[in-house]
Structure 1
Amino acid sequence: QEATGDYSTAGWAAVHAAWACDDQNAQEASRLCRLKAIQLFQEANGASNLSQTGAQEAFKFDPSKVPDLPEPRPMFEIFVYSPNVEGVHLRGGKVARGGLRWSDRIEDYRTEILGLLKAQMVKNAVIVPVGAKGGFVAKQAEGIECYKTFIRGLLDLTDNFIEGQIVPAHNVVRHDDDDPYLVVAADKGTATFSDIANEIAKEYNFWLSDAFASGGSSGYDHKKMGITARGAWESVKRHFREIQVNIQTQDFSVIGIGDMSGDVFGNGLLLSQHIKLLAAFNHLHIFLDPNPNPQKSWEERQRLFNLPRSTWADYNPKLISEGGGVFSRKSKSILISPEVQAMLGIQAKSLKPNELIHAILCAPVDLLWNGGIGTYVKAQTEHHAEVGDKSNDAVRVNGQDLRCKVVGEGGNLGFTQLGRIEYAQNGGRINTDALDNSGGVDCSDHEVNIKILLNAIVANGDMTNKQRNHLLAEMTEQVSELVFKNNYLQTQAISIPLSIYPQMFDLHARFIRHLEKQGQLDRELEFLPNNKILAERRAAQQGFTSPELCILLAYSKISLYQALLGSDLPEDPYFRSILENYFPTPLPTRFAEEIAQHRLHREIITTQLTNLVINRGGIAFVYMLEEETGQTAPEIVRAFMVAWEVFDIEKLCLDIEALDNQINSQVQLKMIMSARQQIERASRWLLRHHRMPLDIAKTIETLRPGVTQLADSLDGAEPEDLEKLAQQLIEAGVPSELATRVAR
């Protein structure tokens, strides 16, 4: 077809579908090619811009209707083709978002994007849209022009909102339902392209305008905010807090993947002035500093961060401790000083660069901070070929060989999931990249939804664009705080079951089987234990690892989100405050009515409720009460909200969390668990003894006075066991009033 110039969408649909199946047999590929061409356009094709005039052609199809495509299956797939560029965009749902990557994997870029989509679906469990991911390869033109062509191909197939009405894309053969929500973001190779994408959106008169691509000149600059690194640092701080170390006041040793010019690595290694960075590497250099001065090295890292396009070679050699230095990865071998030998716990006097990196990854340090690109840790049971990152095969290590106490995953895909599990089973403290670095997508989601709100106000003439941009800038730190709160609560939701794992094991095992039975979870795909392994762990009194619980947390949220969004619960007037609390404080005060009319108000309310219930109630809270009471997820959430308000659980939790680094973290977790048990008991009672559906506001109004009166009547008359518990908490450093309340 390239030879004849026939770039028909139908022909390329067939080629793409057969190629996507990753079939290596030529005859079978030919057969699939013919079958897929027929099947895609008779069954799966939702829209095609075959009749469009332009440099690109695109088609959209439903992957669930195409046999042999690898899992996971997104809801929609768009394939864009032109002589200069081709690419795919995969979406997990109608309201979905994720980055567009400039891929260098021309032979298998769909495989790359599919793997990233899988991670994005889990990461996006904390935000309004579900996961999406796109990628393109440049063939015969400059990268920016290829990006523009790819964006136009996506918008060619996307419906629009004009004067409140859905308007189908122009000159498109369309067979699917209305589908106007398309949001993109920066990714590898496209970090500075947001303004380009938004200009094209304006060219198409697309309703999202500059909310189409988050960031850019009138959006939130993630590197300046340090949003991804600061969000991941919440995980790092919690890991250390749970071993009674405050990394903001105590020195700790670090090895790193990346360099100071990078967003996540650079911002991350400036978040504490007590970091002792012993070693780091990127694709060019290896940095070694066996005995750094924390303050002076922090100042030098700050200088490099501010220096455009800095590398480790720019580090002032006078500030590197004896035996250290900066070495090229192109060197044939590197002499290892006695100081570096002691730091890495090795005896070799010289190593090849890749061998030295291997030793760095296995160094006995406090923290491994990943802010780079590539996969560096796998499981012993995995082969390098399974990892899909050939360029790092020579340096990759096994999870069981790591000697660091904590891993912070600021970057994506630094570990395989099995590598994480293996490391955790050997005592390491780690979550997942999706949980650690969700701050970036969370920030972008807030930006998009704030812009949707404010753009409507600008369109009505109640605000100028200049005023809008000024307001966006003013709210930067408030948006950051909303994001970090989500990071904090998600890590806490993992820590609680880890602290009482034998107690929660059977419940979580049943929940996994339930999700699998409902077709909402593929255990094998997510590396969750099968029934045989579950039985072995139960017998050995071994629970789920943190990386496994992170996956289960995400799927719990995905499941609850779907159940709530499909109900009438988001329409309950009681949740207006939940909707307003999503936005930074100036907005609800000034634009309460406009917020109530937000185009995604149902999705925002559902996301807020999902995060609140799962973060505070627990991973299997809704499933457990479904089992026990037979009630539906929406009714369980109604009961949760009544309990949450009647017993003022929010204030209780905030008071407990204010004691970070002041009392033993295990005491804190036990108090949070006590608050959670109060929610469980009250919700269970409501579901069993009140008529459904609960009127949330009226039930709170009815029950709150009695609960308050009961609490007041207990003053000075606590039973002996409650008084004893309160005294134990006081002796652990808990303020007297809070200790008494928790004990009750």
Structure 2
Amino acid sequence: MQIKINEKNLTITSQNPLTINEIVDLLENFQFTIQKLNTSQNNYEIEVNKPIKNKELFTKILKNALLGKIPKKCKLYYFYQLDFSLKEINFLRALAIYQSQIMKFSYEFIINTYIKYSSFIKNPSLEIDTDNQSEHQVLLIFREIKKNIIKTNLEKNKETIAFKIDIKNFKHLLKGINPNIESFVYHNDFCGVHLRMSKISRGGIRYSQRVDFREEIKDLMTTQQYKNAIIIPNGAKGGFFIFDENPSREKIKKCYSLYIDALLDLVDFEYGEDKDFYFVVAADKGTSDFSDIANEIAIKRGYFFKDAFASGGKNGYSHKKLGITALGALTSANRHFLEINKNIFKDEISVVGVGSMRGDVFGNGMLMNENFKLIAAISSKEIFIDPNPDIKKSFLERKRLFENSLSWKHYEKKALSKGAAIFDRSKKTQKISNEIQKLINHDSQIIQTDELIKKLLKLKVDMLYFGAIGTYVKASEEINELISDKQNADIRIDANEIKAFCVCEGANLAMTNKARVEYSQKGRINLDAIDNSAGVNISDYEVNLKLINADVLKYTDIVIKKVLTQNIMQPLRISLDEKLSEEDIKEFANTLQNVETFNEVFKTFDSTKPLRPILAILLLYTKLFIKEKIDFFDEKYLKEYFPLEIDYEKHILKKEIAKTVITNKVVNLYGLKILKNFSTQKIINILILNEVLNLEK
């Protein structure tokens, strides 16, 4: 495309035809009125009502808008009139979108505020001069963002804009829990965030379909922070949102690639104490098969982590093939059954679940016991109900679905019990059999689909198994509309309505914190970060082995055994700590006041009773607390982490790994009581005593 300008006249020559309305609307956005317009063979001669100033910038903006590289109606013309450069304009647009994610104000309001106070935007050191409280907040946060930007990729002149912020310096001005380090990526097709609690942090990258994607990522980062208590890095989470409503898989991959590449622009590519060198990612919702894409980008860019950058790729541990998350979750939930002399992996256990046999956590989970009696399952598109399942037939059929990646609608009808059915969730109502009516205690053949799902979640079974994304349970006191997962608002139930003996959270955020506390007063539950920790644990092993060029696949069995140790020990420790008094809980909570994010997370529980979810969160934050406090280093603890023949001498995280091993050891053995009269010397004494008595055996 070529654009020529002479005073009030401009000529546009385009390879592809442009619509007259497109040209008129765009020029009107620049506050020009068209006097004449002649067209011939993709050539457009236009005369406007006044001379065109700043021709070079005007040409760049007009050309980018006509080519679709920047939105045609985003008030860029105002910034053009205020003599901002094209780079400044694009950066301000990115900042405005970012601010709309961290504040309650719309992008439109933020942009209008930028325009109204353009002098301040050019020079944020000026005094904020407005009586409007909302405008004042926008300008205040804008100044803090600009002041705390650590690094950008603007000098690279790429199609993505990325910047990294030291957000801990102003997160007291924001609501709720926030990260300490935050990166934002903007592109004409998408935008995304990456949130970290410290320089050494890790977590998955997801494709978010929520307009308030940062809120979703922030909630998950909080969970990741205490889930990561058992591994080396702190919590992190990333995600990107595509502006198209229904992007193709190829479009999602392209946006993911651009997002990852832009984030790497913000990383230090050399190791050092003062460097921000540690950046690793993992698969998550919508990106489960993208690890190799990320690793290819990292290798091409020369990032020294190479294929340790993204766990789970072709040279790493496939969570789905190993079934590690489900195995860890069921191992964790087995504590509930062991205490009533049953075994989750052998005995007949009745189950209602959320998920599909195609899924990793649900599919693998429902194959780990041939005697699981699956009564019902709710997936994103279907509802499976088998009132009186034949245990052997149903296991074989679930196995067939999993191995062939099939949904519930492909379930062989001959394997179903009388009255069983598979319903399409897109229908508003369902016609149910007498057997299903009896199962859910409903006196009509017709039932609303949402009501059917709710009744299934309330069934009296041995285990309610969450194996897919979504928040399905709130506390009775919580307001449904305020729960962040809007998609499942119509099927969400109250915790006091659950009749299952126990809940296993194979997926994150299946229940709110308050819901866990409410349910735990009559049922058995741990915490999502306790139940599904095995996935993040094995990924961390993979990264740490790859960083010393070890063949990770060679050590699969050893690593799985090490990972499952935490899924055995942590629920056991919670059971032992259930004997604590309320006074102990208060004392231990007070000790943890200075742990990052603890206060915000803990107060959502609103209880100091010795209930399992309360004890679980205390256990994990005790580990975070002790990892921070340990100030000694002994390489013998590295031997406990790595397979015996591994040479770990040059590992860049030797100190962090040893501290994590010590932390898990002493807290799993001694529980929350370690916080009483806490000192580093107390940890050393415990380690010595443990070696003498060999308590772990």
TM-score by length of 1: 0.76
C-alpha distance 94-557 of structure 1, shift in aligned 2 (>3 A): same
8 Å contact 1:10–1:41 — kept in the other structure? no
What is the aligned counterpart of 1:515 among 577, 592, 612?
A: 592
State the 1:335 CA deviation: 3.0
Matching residue of 2:287: 190
Q: Which amino acid is 1:424 matched to?
A: S
Give the number of equivalent residue pairs: 586
State the 1:286 CA deviation: 1.1
Question: SS where residue 229 of structure 2 aligns?
Answer: helix
Give the root-mean-square deviation of aligned CA atoms: 2.0
Inter-partner Cα distance in structure 1 for 2:504 and 2:260: 33
Q: Which amino acid is 1:356 matched to?
A: L
8 Å contact 1:528–1:548 — kept in the other structure? no
Within 5 Å, give how 1:306-385 maps onto structure 2. 306-308=403-405, 310-385=406-481
Inter-partner Cα distance in structure 1 for 2:267 and 2:180: 15
Inter-partner Cα distance in structure 2 for 1:519 and 1:129: 15
Inter-partner Cα distance in structure 2 for 1:29 and 1:218: 51
8 Å contact 1:523–1:529 — kept in the other structure? no
Question: SS where residue 219 of structure 1 aligns?
Answer: coil
Inter-partner Cα distance in structure 2 for 1:74 and 1:240: 37
What is the aligned counterpart of 2:219 among 77, 97, 115?
A: 115
Q: Tell whether 2:566 aligns with 1:486.
A: yes
Q: Which amino acid is 1:233 matched to?
A: L
Percent identity between the aligned chains?
38
Matching residue of 1:237: 334
Within 5 Å, give how 1:570-589 maps onto structure 2. 570=633, 572=634, 576-584=635-643, 588-589=644-645
Inter-partner Cα distance in structure 1 for 2:142 and 2:599: 31
Within 5 Å, give how 1:111-260 maps onto structure 2. 111-139=215-243, 142-161=251-270, 166=272, 177-260=274-357
Question: SS where residue 164 of structure 2 aligns?
Answer: strand
C-alpha distance 524-92 of structure 1, shift in aligned 2 (>3 A): closer
Q: Tell whether 2:657 aligns with 1:604.
A: yes
Question: SS where residue 192 of structure 2 aligns?
Answer: strand
What is the aligned counterpart of 1:22 among 104, 108, 119?
A: 104
8 Å contact 2:514–2:605 — kept in the other structure? no
8 Å contact 2:460–2:499 — kept in the other structure? yes
Within 5 Å, give how 1:574-653 maps onto structure 2. 576-584=635-643, 588-589=644-645, 591=646, 594-621=647-674, 623-626=675-678, 632-633=679-680, 635-651=681-697
Cα-to-partner distance string for 1:702-732 (whole Å, 9 max, x where unaligned)? xxxxxxxxxxxxxxxxxxxxxxxxxxxxxxx
Matching residue of 1:390: 486
Between structure 1 and structure 2, the one with the greater Rg is 2
Within 5 Å, give how 1:534-545 maps onto structure 2. 534=608, 543-545=609-611
Matching residue of 2:174: 69
Inter-partner Cα distance in structure 2 for 1:259 and 1:294: 18
Question: SS where residue 154 of structure 2 aligns?
Answer: coil
C-alpha distance 553-298 of structure 1, shift in aligned 2 (>3 A): same
Question: SS where residue 46 of structure 1 aligns?
Answer: strand
Question: SS where residue 155 of structure 2 aligns?
Answer: coil
C-alpha distance 248-84 of structure 1, shift in aligned 2 (>3 A): closer
Question: SS where residue 393 of structure 1 aligns?
Answer: helix
8 Å contact 1:18–1:32 — kept in the other structure? no
Structure with the larger helix share: 1
Cα-to-partner distance string for 1:290-329 (whole Å, 9 max, x where unaligned)? 1111111111100000113x11111000110011111212
C-alpha distance 253-40 of structure 1, shift in aligned 2 (>3 A): same
What is the aligned counterpart of 2:602 among 506, 518, 526?
A: 526
Question: SS where residue 547 of structure 2 aligns?
Answer: helix
Within 5 Å, give how 1:689-728 maps onto structure 2. none
Inter-partner Cα distance in structure 2 for 1:607 and 1:9: 40
C-alpha distance 249-80 of structure 1, shift in aligned 2 (>3 A): closer
8 Å contact 2:666–2:683 — kept in the other structure? yes
C-alpha distance 346-15 of structure 1, shift in aligned 2 (>3 A): closer
State the 1:478 CA deviation: 1.8
8 Å contact 1:14–1:34 — kept in the other structure? no
8 Å contact 1:420–1:432 — kept in the other structure? yes
8 Å contact 2:375–2:388 — kept in the other structure? yes
State the 1:376 CA deviation: 0.7
C-alpha distance 18-331 of structure 1, shift in aligned 2 (>3 A): closer
Question: SS where residue 595 of structure 1 aligns?
Answer: coil
Deviates more, 1:314-323 or 1:71-80: 71-80
Matching residue of 1:292: 389
Matching residue of 2:12: none
Q: Which runs of 5+ in 1 are unaligned?
A: 168-176, 455-467, 535-542, 627-631, 652-744
Q: Which amino acid is 2:547 matched to?
A: I
C-alpha distance 76-405 of structure 1, shift in aligned 2 (>3 A): same
Cα-to-partner distance string for 1:462-503 (whole Å, 9 max, x where unaligned)? xxxxxx6xx4222222211111111111111111112x243x
Inter-partner Cα distance in structure 1 for 2:597 and 2:155: 39
C-alpha distance 82-520 of structure 1, shift in aligned 2 (>3 A): closer
C-alpha distance 414-529 of structure 1, shift in aligned 2 (>3 A): closer
Q: Which amino acid is 1:613 matched to?
A: V
8 Å contact 2:598–2:621 — kept in the other structure? no
State the 1:81 CA deviation: 1.2
8 Å contact 2:513–2:604 — kept in the other structure? no
Deviates more, 1:350-359 or 1:266-275: 350-359
Q: Tell whether 2:539 aligns with 1:444.
A: yes
Matching residue of 2:548: 453
C-alpha distance 549-648 of structure 1, shift in aligned 2 (>3 A): same
Q: Which runs of 5+ in 2 are unaligned?
A: 1-73, 78-85, 111-131
Q: Which amino acid is 1:560 matched to?
A: I
Q: Tell whether 2:79 aligns with 1:3.
A: no
Question: SS where residue 235 of structure 2 aligns?
Answer: strand
Q: Which amino acid is 1:192 matched to?
A: D
TM-score by length of 2: 0.81
Matching residue of 2:612: 546
Inter-partner Cα distance in structure 2 for 1:45 and 1:523: 27
Matching residue of 1:415: 511
State the 1:236 CA deviation: 1.9
Question: SS where residue 149 of structure 1 aligns?
Answer: helix
C-alpha distance 338-424 of structure 1, shift in aligned 2 (>3 A): same
State the 1:347 CA deviation: 3.7
State the 1:562 CA deviation: 0.8
Inter-partner Cα distance in structure 2 for 1:282 and 1:295: 22
Deviates more, 1:25-34 or 1:44-53: 25-34
